[in-house]
Amino acid sequence: MVSRQTKSISLSALIREHPTIAEILWMSAPGVRESLDDRSVAILEAAQLERSLESIITHRLIKLDDSEKKELFAGDSAPLATFSAKTKIAYALGMFGKNTKKELDRIRGIRNAFAHSSKPLNFSTKQIETECNNLTRTFVGNTPMTSRDKYIQSASNLSASLLSLKYPRSEDSDFDPLD
């Protein structure tokens, strides 16, 4: 993997760091996702999706300096520190509809199972497979998809759709990337 420059930062600051361009390119390289175990994929894909949510929320707010952003998004008492809180506020602001909220909640639930279970889990675990089969942001076509593929595709598609909300669309466009 691409390594960061060595610097002393806290764990909470490390969590807040965005990936470098080199790291994004590395993750997008052919075969990289396939080489990661299921737990890593579930957590990394959801982390990227959560960052996209934070980005569109921040884009909608007044211009905040770094300390103000930290007050909102980082730390135990920050009101928007969790994936759940970010989903709820973005939904309440009308950034997307109920279907997208359900999809985000489903991905967060799968991520939480992988992140917090002390049992060895994978995308073939019955409960996880059931949740992945209920994801709707997948394009099946003629190729059968594994639960892992559905999760990756749904999280990636949602992330891209969320980020597209930062860019203006023409008034006469019927295109809505979400719902």
Structure tokens at 21: 């361009």
- pLDDT for residue 178 is more than 80: no
Q: Which residues contact 23 (CB under 8 A, 6 or more apart)?
A: 1, 2
Q: In angstroms, rounded to a whole number, what is the distance separating the alpha carbons of residues 158 and 155? A: 5
For the chain, the structural domain boundaries read: 36-164
How far does CA 40 lie from the centroid of its chain? 13
**Domain 36-164 has what CATH class?**
mainly alpha
Task: State the CB neighbour count (10 A cutoff) for residue 139.
Answer: 10
> Which positions ≥6 away from 85 have C-beta within 8 Å?
79
Give 123-147 pLDDT, tens digit per residue. Answer: 999 999 999 999 988 776 677 889 9
- Is the entire prediction scored with pTM above 0.85? no
